[in-house]
Chain A
Amino acid sequence: MIQGISIYHFLIVSSLMFFIGIAGFIIRQNLITILLSIELILNSVAINFLVFNRYLYPDQLQGHFFSLFIIGVAAAEASVAIALIINIYRRIHGINTDDVNEMKH
C-alpha cells in the first residue's frame, strides 16, 4: 500500500487504460496497433488484480498470481498474433484493416 494514494487512483488509471484499449481496437487501422491496444487492455486487468489484492485483501496472493499468469498468456498471444500478421504481410504486403476485408457479410 502506498501512503497518500488511494485505491481509487489506481482504479481510475486502470479503467482509463481499459477503455483506451477498447477505443484503440475499434478506431485503429493498423493490425500492430490493434495488438498494442489489446496489450493495454490486458495490462489494465493486471493492475486491477494487483490493486484489489494489495488494498482489499493484503493477506493473500491470489491476485498477484493471476496477474503473473495474465502477463505470461499475453506474451503467448502477442507472439502468435504477430506471426499471423507477418503471414498476412507476406501475402498482401499490407497490414491495414482495409487490406483484410475480403470476407464480408
Chain B
Amino acid sequence: MDFQYILLLKHEILLTLAALIILFVELFLPQNKKRNVINISLIIFAIVAFAGFIPTAQGNLFGGSFQGSRLTDVMKDILNLAVLIVFLQSTGYLKKSENADKMGEYFALIIFTLIGMDFMISAGDFITFFIGLETASIPVAGLAAYDRYKRKSAEAGVKLILLASISSGVLLFGLSMIYGATGSIYFADIAKNITASPLIILGFIFFVSGMGFKLSLVPFHLWTADVYEGSPMNITAYLSVVSKGAAAFIFTIVLFTVFKNITDLWELVMYALAVITITVGNLFALRQDNIKRFLAFSSIAQVGFVLLGIMGTGALGMTSVVYFMLVYVFTNLAAFGVAQAIYNQTGVETISGYKGLYKTNPKLSLVMMLALFSLAGIPPLAGFFGKFFLFTSAASHGYFILVVIAALNATISLYYYLLVVKAMFIDKNDKPIAFFKSSGLMRVSLFITALGIFVVGFASGIFEYIMSISSSIF
C-alpha cells in the first residue's frame, strides 16, 4: 500500500487530530483561561475544514471497505462547512456560565460524530457503514442532553438514544437478511448478486425503516420534534443540518450502488414515502408556535423533497441531492442562527414572540426572511434552484404526478413560512423584543449564510462541478 493512499483518509485523520488536540488543550489550560478553548477550537476546526478542500488521490482502502472519491470529498467538505457555521453560532451558548466546565467536550463530541459521518459516507461495506452510523448517532444523544439540569434536555437525550438504538437494530435486522441472501457485506458484491427475492425485499424494507428513523421520514418521524425542542438550539441546528445531511448522502449512495438492480422496487417505496413525508411535514408545521418545533417539521418536509431527487437515480439524482444539501446547509443554518441569536439574548423561542421584530432588529429580521423564503423556494434565492433540480431529477424519470404534488406542497409551505415573516414585519406588538447586538462571531456566521443563500444559487459552476464528478461515478 502506497503512502499516498493513506491520504484518502485525510478528512478523518485531520478531524481525529483536531478532536484530540482540543481535549488536551482544555485539560492543560489553567482554570482562569478555560474560555480560550472556544477560540482555539474554532481556529483548529477552521484549518481542518479548509485543509479538506485540498485535492488528493482517489481509490479504495482496506480491500474496498473504504472508498474515497471526489464525490465523497465534496460531501465531507459540505459537512465540514456546516459544522464550522454551527461552531461559530454556538459561542454565545457556550459562554453562558452553566457551560463553563464543559466547553471542550462540546467541540470534541461534535467532531467525533463528524468522523463517524465521514466514515459512513466513504463506506464500501456494511461494517464500516454501521460503525460510522453508530459513531455518528451515539454521541449526539449526549449532546442533546447537554443542558443536563434542564428536564426537557434530559428527556430529549433519552428519547434520542432509545430511538436511535432501536432504529439501528431494525436496520441491522434488514442487513442480516441481505447478507443471508447474497453472501457478502461488500457493496460491490451485493450489487452483483441482488435480485428481487422475498428475503431481499424483506431485508430492504427493514433497511429503509431503519434509515427512515435517521432521516425522519414520515412514518418514523415522531422523535424529531421532541428531540429538536428539548435539545439546546445549536445542537438542534446540528441535528437538522449535519446529521440529516450525512444520512441523506449515505442513503442515496447505498440506494444507487447496492440496490441498483432492484430500482423498480425501491422507487415505488420512495414514491409513497416522499408523498406522505412532504404532506405530513407541512401539515404539522402549520400548527406550531415554538420555532424549534416549527423548523423540525419544516426540515421533515425538506427531506421529503430530497426523496424526489433520489427518485431520479443516476448522476442527475446524485447531483441534485448533494446540491440541495449544500443549499440547505446555508438556508437552515441562517434560520437557526437568527433563532439562536434571539434566544441567547432574550430567551424567546416562539413565533408569536417575534412580533414586531423588524422595528427593533431589522437586520436579523431580514436574514430570517431570506432564510425562510429560500426554504420555501422563492426564485432568486438558492432554495429555488435546489428544489428546481430535485424536481427536474424526478421529472426526468417521468414522475410528473409526484412533481405536481410536491409543487402544491411547496405552495402550502410558503403559507407557514410567511406566517413567521408576517409576525416579524407586519404584526403589531406593544412590547417587541428590544434592540440588541449579537456577538461578533454570530454576525460573521449570519453573513456567511446570507451570502451563501445568494451565491450558491447563481454560481452555476458549483452544480456543474458536482455534476461532472458524479457522472464519472454513476
Contact = CB atoms under 8 A, between A and B. Distances in A.
Interface of A: 18, 21-22, 25, 31, 34-35, 37-38, 41-42, 44-45, 48-49, 52-53, 56-57, 60, 62-63, 65-66, 69-70, 73, 76-77, 80-81, 83-85, 87-88, 91-92, 100, 102-105
B347 interface: no
A81 B165 contact: yes
A81 B126 CA distance: 24
Interface string B130-151: 1100100011011001001101
A48 B162 contact: no
Interface residues of B, number: 43
B162 A38 contact: yes
30 contacts: A18-B169, A37-B166, A38-B166, A41-B166, A42-B165, A45-B175, A45-B176, A49-B179, A52-B179, A52-B180, A62-B185, A66-B175, A69-B130, A73-B130, A76-B138, A77-B138, A81-B141, A81-B158, A81-B162, A83-B142, A87-B148, A87-B154, A88-B158, A91-B154, A92-B151, A100-B159, A103-B226, A103-B229, A104-B226, A105-B225
Given A45-B176, A100-B155, A62 B184 contact: yes
B179 A63 contact: yes
B337 interface: no
Contact of B151 (A57, A73, A80, A102): A102
Nearest to A73: B134
Interface in B244-289: 284
Contacts of A57: 183
A103 B155 contact: yes
A13 to B, nearest CB: 14
Contacts of B225: 103, 105
B155 A105 contact: no
A13 B156 CA distance: 34
B405 interface: no
Given A66-B126, A84-B145, A21 B161 contact: no
Given A73-B130, A73-B134, A31 B158 contact: yes
Contacts of B348: none
B161 A80 contact: yes
A41 B152 contact: no
Given A21-B169, A76-B138, A81-B161, 13 more contacts: A25-B162, A37-B166, A48-B176, A57-B183, A60-B183, A66-B176, A69-B131, A70-B130, A83-B142, A84-B142, A84-B157, A100-B155, A100-B158
Nearest to B159: A100
B236 to A, nearest CB: 13
Contacts of B377: none
B127 interface: yes
Contact of B173 (A38, A41, A85, A87): A41
Contacts of A42: 165, 169, 172
Chain A CB within 10 Å, residue with most, of B145, B157, B169:
B169
Given A56-B180, A102-B155, A25 B166 contact: yes
